[in-house]
Chain A
Amino acid sequence: QKEVEQDPGPLSVPEGAIVSLNCTYSNSAFQYFMWYRQYSRKGPELLMYTYSSGNKEDGRFTAQVDKSSKYISLFIRDSQPSDSATYLCAMSPRNYGQNFVFGPGTRLSVLP
């Protein structure tokens, strides 16, 4: 079993839809959770950084962490074609000084 699992997609949705992206993990020591967006052949761009369980909202993006289920989600409201990218989850047991473990990424296509 991989340490972090993520459905690779591709996931195709119509413009304006609510998108739900998910990751599961096996290491209960993970406490810091991140979502990155990566456009084709570009560097990953940090979208959300959260600690422990709960929700965090930033514009159209909401990150949810459920540590009891070892499950994290990223919701994108009013999705746009410009949201078409690969979304990577990442997690770490510490705030810093520790390498992050990345999921394999989910490819999202938002169709106009």
Chain B
Amino acid sequence: DSGVTQTPKHLITATGQRVTLRCSPRSGDLSVYWYQQSLDQGLQFLIQYYNGEERAKGNILERFSAQQFPDLHSELNLSSLELGDSALYFCASSVDSGRAQGEQFFGPGTRLTVL
């Protein structure tokens, strides 16, 4: 158990809908990273938040957005869903401060199926 929690575990929805994925980082970790993993694309970095502020952006679509709240949990919002958005979505957290190593610890993921 990495200490990172994600809800829900599974999500089934229809095209055009909007969903919200939730992540709680390990205690003490300031950074949250979101990744998408599909069969043909591997693990793709979407976005990083550090202590409430957006820090880095990867291959995140405009239909997707995220935020990190004062308690450091994060939400990833996916809207106007398409079939191709079906994937595993992982959250990872890291301390990212001081002399700590920047290891990222992953949550169990949310499996999104768009029908």
Contacts and interface: CB of A to CB of B under 8 A. Distances in A.
Is B truly associated with A?
yes
Interface stretch (B11-19, B64-72, B77-85, B88-96): B88-96
Given A96-B96, A96-B100, A96-B102, A44 B56 contact: no
Nearest to A99: B45
With most chain B CB atoms within 10 A of its CB, the pick from A41, A45, A103, A105 is A41
Nearest to B2: A43
Contact of A41 (B45, B55, B94, B111): B111
Interface string B87-115: 01010001111001111111111010000
A18 interface: no
B102 A42 contact: no
Contacts of A32: 102
Contacts of B109: 41-43
Given A95-B101, A96-B96, A43 B106 contact: yes
A100 B42 contact: no
B2 A45 contact: yes
A36 B106 CA distance: 10
Contacts of B4: 43
B25 to A, nearest CB: 13
Interface in B38-62: 42-45, 48, 50, 55-56, 58
A95 B50 CA distance: 14
Contact of A44 (B50, B55, B90, B100): B90
B55 A97 contact: yes
Nearest to B94: A96
A53 B102 CA distance: 17
Given A43-B90, A96-B95, A97-B56, A102 B43 contact: yes
Contacts of A103: 42
10 contacts: A43-B2, A45-B2, A88-B43, A96-B100, A97-B102, A98-B56, A98-B102, A99-B33, A102-B44, A102-B45
Given A43-B90, A101-B45, 7 more contacts: A43-B4, A43-B107, A44-B106, A95-B102, A96-B95, A102-B42, A105-B42
